[in-house]
A and B are shown apart, each in its own frame.
Chain A
Amino acid sequence: GAGVSQSPRYKVAKRGQDVALRCDPISGHVSLFWYQQALGQGPEFLTYFQNEAQLDKSGLPSDRFFAERPEGSVSTLKIQRTQQEDSAVYLCASSPGQVRDEQYFGPGTRLTVT
């Protein structure tokens, strides 16, 4: 079956531009996570959705980062006024339930801010 998909796979933005990154989770999965992976580092948690509710946004690095999942399926991570330190791979993961289920990861979006 189809796994988690993300688009675009690569994004180059000039500093100050806004970007939107999309995640299509596995159909029917309740939980959706966003992680940020800087070069040479492990992924770090950004935010969590249970269906359409954003229950945890403690990992978002600044108020320039905004995420939504309005219908409880597709999610969008938006970064406003991008800065060079936002350059990273943004990974999306989904899991079937809401209590510590195994997470399935998408291929990620590599964002480069010039």
Chain B
Amino acid sequence: KQEVTQIPAALSVPEGENLVLNCSFTDSAIYNLQWFRQDPGKGLTSLLLIQSSQREQTSGRLNASLDKSSGRSTLYIAASQPGDSATYLCAVLDAGGTSYGKLTFGQGTILTVHP
């Protein structure tokens, strides 16, 4: 059974810092990996999706990398801003099992960026 772990559970940084969020998964046979953002009382906003054949994806100040063989992904946020404060979730879609793919999520990293 796939298990996803995110470290750290919470992170508080001053504005302007570059930071790294970590995600690890136990079964490397994945189809893709996705990073989401969740604001309080809101649903999930997809940030980046990395296919299993890719090594990284970039969007603006965000960069996500994937090392499938070691079961790890990192989300890098450059020049953090208070508006980046949210919970960040990592989720994997397994390559085996069902064809429709149910996501397995980590428990999230709560990020606070203070001015």
Contact = CB atoms under 8 A, between A and B. Distances in A.
Contacts of A93: 44
Contact of B46 (A43, A44, A102): A102
A73 interface: no
B46 A48 contact: no
A45 B103 contact: yes
A106 B106 contact: no
B100 A55 contact: yes
A4 B42 CA distance: 12
Given A50-B100, A100-B31, A91 B44 contact: yes
B43 interface: yes
A98 B107 CA distance: 26
Contacts of B104: 45
Given A41-B107, A42-B107, A107 B100 contact: no
Interface residues of B, number: 27
Contact of A107 (B6, B43, B91, B98): B43
Interface residues of A, number: 29
B99 interface: yes
A98 B102 CA distance: 11
Interface in B77-111: 89, 91, 93, 98-108
B51 to A, nearest CB: 10
B105 A106 contact: no
B39 to A, nearest CB: 10
B113 interface: no
B49 interface: yes
Interface in B23-38: 31-32, 34, 36
B100 A98 contact: yes
A65 interface: no
A98 to B, nearest CB: 6
Contacts of B44: 43, 91, 93, 105
A40 B107 contact: yes
A82 interface: no
B9 to A, nearest CB: 9
B103 A43 contact: yes
Give the 6 A-B CB pairs with smallest separation, nearest first. A42-B105, A100-B101, A105-B44, A107-B43, A45-B102, A105-B43
